[in-house]
């Protein structure tokens, strides 16, 4: 061995290497030189200016969060604290049909700009992903970012909030914008078919756009059209899009919403198996909680009542005739929503005009206000101009476990990365923002033994890297980018709860991003070593 071969910038000594392949862990030293892993093995004779004593700890590839919305917070929260503290070193953004980089300063995007307004961020990138990610690069980011192009935002750019199919000219304009996004380096094409305006599209529109994405080798990630009563049809639609466009499919945050739909995931997983047997590359992701969180109107307001956006919705909800019609439609679909019990399970998360409502159930608010819970929901939508989210405790723990056990399920937080300080800490976020990955390792590996440790780590690293076609990350091996997460398998655990979400987890000890220590003994160092990863058609990752 030459002398040079014994010198590293960083050595992680004596840890248990869980390498991200799903294989058996082994004890070894890991040597990092510059931004790469230079050696794995017995490095007793080697030295480095920086050494992490990792005996008793697991040394894994940095976690890849396959499903996030952190493009929303990157410009005001470059530290991405809630993600980094979970051991996440790469975040896939632009999910569910929403991409901040495609937003412009036109009036139609007033809703999206409300995410940024409290932090004084103005939309200066003119809806061009390349310019948005240039800005992100200038400000820095603690984790790497994998961008996607998003259908909902694209459609809104071209068609506004109109509930109809596109004209041929509009469709080709959307395809043009897709091509531009490909040039800007996106890895995936996402839809949010339950959200307006994604919900206004028919399957054919998505197929025509997915064909463009497929031509350039992107994958298709989808928030299904329905995760409740029509879950099975919605999965069928996703599989059809995959087959007809010839594109790899990722089912986002898979779940069956509402007690009467619990257990349907057995059926949908079987559909995934059948589609794979026929040659379609379909996989899925999940966050390990039995509650979800989204906009309050999602799954409540009939689709037609959302047309035109927030102003039009508020007009309808304050028009007595239309309001009655909307209520009648909702109750016809969900007779049980006339009873108070359901509304105990719907809890207001972020309500910027009514901060005192945050954390209260609709039932509780209805009692305080002396009105029917559904009336109360409609009132709050008007008061908040529809910019209000709610957690819904309507999933089943058994389903969570069924989906998590499935070999092709990877882990995705669905979070907008946040931090426990300043304005960010006033929002009542879902605990998944802070707890997703540690919760899988603590609760589902150590406590419930639902997964083995190598299996769980594979779902967080090797599997998502394979899905993305990220060749230089996701597996700990010589030559890979030095993204490394070191955790204590005996203590790793989420602490965030719905009541107190802004809590960092326990047991994530060190996070290394591109060879730089970004988290040290559980505390962020402030390093902004992440990159925006730009996909090249040759499928190797370069950075801006």
Residues of the shown chain interacting with Cu ion in the complex, contacts defined by CB under 5 A: 95-96, 414
Residue 96 vs 351, nearer CB to Zn ion:
96
Query: What's the closest the beta carbon of residue 96 comes to Cu ion, in angstroms?
Result: 4
Cβ-closest position to Cu ion: 96
Would you say 70 and 92 are in contact if contact means Cβ atoms under 8 Å apart? no
Residue 96 vs 210, nearer CB to Zn ion:
96
Query: What's the closest the beta carbon of residue 53 comes to Cu ion, in angstroms?
Result: 38
Query: What's the closest the beta carbon of residue 112 comes to Zn ion, in angstroms?
Result: 15
Binding-site ranges for Zn ion (CB under 5 A): 96, 223
Query: What's the closest the beta carbon of residue 95 comes to Zn ion, in angstroms?
Result: 6
The entry of Cu ion, Zn ion, none near residue 361 (CB within 5 to 8 angstroms by kind) is none
Residue 294 vs 358, nearer CB to Cu ion:
294
Residue 96 vs 411, nearer CB to Cu ion:
96
Query: What's the closest the beta carbon of residue 255 comes to Zn ion, in angstroms?
Result: 10
Q: E strand or H helix at 120, and its extent? A: none
Query: What's the closest the beta carbon of residue 149 comes to Cu ion, in angstroms?
Result: 15
Residue 251 vs 357, nearer CB to Zn ion:
251
Long-range CB contacts (within 8 A, 24+) of 380-383: 380/296, 380/348, 380/351, 380/354, 381/296, 381/297, 381/301, 381/313, 381/314, 381/317, 382/314, 382/317, 382/318, 383/353, 383/354
Q: Which of 366, 372, 444 is nearest to 411 (CA)?
A: 444
Distance, in Å, from the CA atom of 285 to the CA atom of 303, rounded to the nearest integer, reads 26
The entry of Zn ion, Cu ion, none near residue 495 (CB within 5 to 8 angstroms by kind) is none
DSSP SS3 for 440: helix
Count of residues in the chain: 544
Query: What's the closest the beta carbon of residue 414 comes to Cu ion, in angstroms?
Result: 4
Cα 124 to the chain's mean position, in Å?
24
The entry of Cu ion, Zn ion, none near residue 494 (CB within 5 to 8 angstroms by kind) is none
Residue 96 vs 346, nearer CB to Zn ion:
96
Would you say 267 and 276 are in contact if contact means Cβ atoms under 8 Å apart? no
For CA atoms 196, 201, 205, 211, give the dihedral sign: positive
Per-residue H/E/C for 326-382: HHHHHHHHCHHHHCCHHHHHEEEEEECCCHHHCCCEHHHHHHHHCCCHHHHHHHHHH
The entry of Zn ion, Cu ion, none near residue 136 (CB within 5 to 8 angstroms by kind) is none
The entry of Zn ion, Cu ion, none near residue 427 (CB within 5 to 8 angstroms by kind) is none
Query: What's the closest the beta carbon of residue 19 comes to Zn ion, in angstroms?
Result: 31
Query: What's the closest the beta carbon of residue 435 comes to Cu ion, in angstroms?
Result: 16
Residue 16 vs 221, nearer CB to Cu ion:
221
Per-residue H/E/C for 466-531: HHHCCCCCCCCCCCCECCEEEECCCCCECCCCCCCCCCCCECEEEEEECCEEEEECCEECCCCCCC
Residue 71 vs 184, nearer CB to Cu ion:
71
Residue 250 vs 525, nearer CB to Zn ion:
250
Which residue, chain included where needed, has tokens 């997460």? Answer: 485
Residue 391: Cβ-neighbour burial (10 angstroms; 0-12, 13-18, 19+): buried
The entry of Cu ion, Zn ion, none near residue 86 (CB within 5 to 8 angstroms by kind) is none
Write out the DSSP string of 155-184.
Answer: HHHHHTT--SPPPHHHHHHHHHHHHHHHHT
């Amino acid at each position: 061995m030459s002398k040079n071969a014994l010198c590293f910038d960083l050595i992680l000594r004596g840890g248990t290497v869980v390498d991200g392949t799903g294989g058996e862990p082994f004890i070894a030293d890991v040597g990092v030189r510059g931004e790469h892993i230079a050696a794995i093995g017995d490095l007793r004779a080697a030295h480095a200016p920086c050494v992490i004593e990792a005996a008793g700890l697991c040394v894994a590839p940095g976690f890849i969060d396959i499903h996030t919305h952190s493009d929303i917070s990157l410009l005001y929260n470059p530290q991405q604290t809630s993600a980094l503290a979970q051991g996440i070193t790469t975040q896939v953004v632009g999910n569910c049909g929403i991409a901040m980089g495609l937003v412009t300063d036109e009036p139609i995007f007033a809703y999206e700009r409300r995410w940024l307004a409290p932090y004084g961020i103005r939309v200066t990138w003119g809806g061009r992903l390349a310019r948005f990610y240039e800005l992100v690069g200038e400000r820095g980011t603690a984790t790497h970012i994998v961008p996607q192009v998003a259908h909902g935002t694209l459609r809104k750019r071209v068609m506004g909030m109109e509930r109809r199919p596109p004209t041929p000219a509009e469709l080709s304009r959307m395809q043009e914008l897709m091509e531009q996004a490909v040039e800007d380096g996106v890895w995936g094409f996402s839809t949010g078919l339950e959200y307006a305006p994604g919900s206004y599209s028919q399957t054919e529109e998505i197929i025509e756009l997915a064909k463009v994405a497929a031509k350039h080798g992107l994958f298709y990630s989808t928030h299904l059209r329905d995760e409740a009563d029509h879950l099975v049809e919605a999965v069928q639609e996703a599989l059809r899009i995959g087959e007809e466009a010839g594109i790899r499919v990722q089912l986002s945050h898979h779940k069956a919403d509402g007690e009467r739909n619990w257990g349907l995931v057995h059926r949908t997983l079987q559909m995934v198996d059948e589609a794979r047997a026929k040659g379609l590359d379909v996989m899925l992701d999940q966050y390990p909680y039995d509650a979800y969180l989204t906009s309050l109107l999602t799954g409540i307001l009939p689709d037609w009542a959302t047309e035109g956006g927030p102003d039009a919705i508020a007009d309808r909800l304050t028009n007595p005739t239309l309001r009655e019609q909307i209520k009648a439609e909702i109750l016809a679909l969900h007779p049980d929503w006339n009873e108070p019990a359901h509304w105990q399970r719907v809890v207001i998360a972020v309500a910027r005009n009514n901060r005192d409502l945050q954390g209260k159930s609709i039932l509780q608010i209805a009692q305080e206000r002396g009105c029917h819970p559904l009336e109360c929901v409609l009132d709050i939508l008007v008061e908040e101009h529809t910019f209000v989210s709610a957690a819904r405790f309507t999933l089943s723990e058994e389903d969570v476990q069924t989906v998590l056990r499935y070999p092709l399920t990877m882990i995705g937080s669905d979070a907008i990365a946040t931090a426990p300080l300043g304005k960010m800490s006033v929002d009542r976020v879902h605990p998944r923002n802070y707890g997703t990955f540690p919760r899988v390792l603590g609760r589902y590996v150590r406590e419930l033994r639902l997964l083995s440790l190598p299996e769980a780590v594979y779902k967080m690293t090797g599997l998502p890297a394979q899905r993305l076609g990220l060749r230089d990350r996701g597996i700990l091996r010589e030559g890979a980018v030095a993204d490394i997460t070191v955790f204590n398998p005996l203590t790793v655990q989420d602490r965030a709860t719905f009541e107190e979400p802004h809590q960092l987890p326990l047991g994530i000890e060190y996070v290394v991003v591109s060879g730089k220590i970004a988290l040290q003994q559980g505390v962020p160092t402030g390093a902004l070593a992440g990159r925006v990863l730009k996909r090249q058609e040759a499928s190797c990752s370069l950075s801006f």
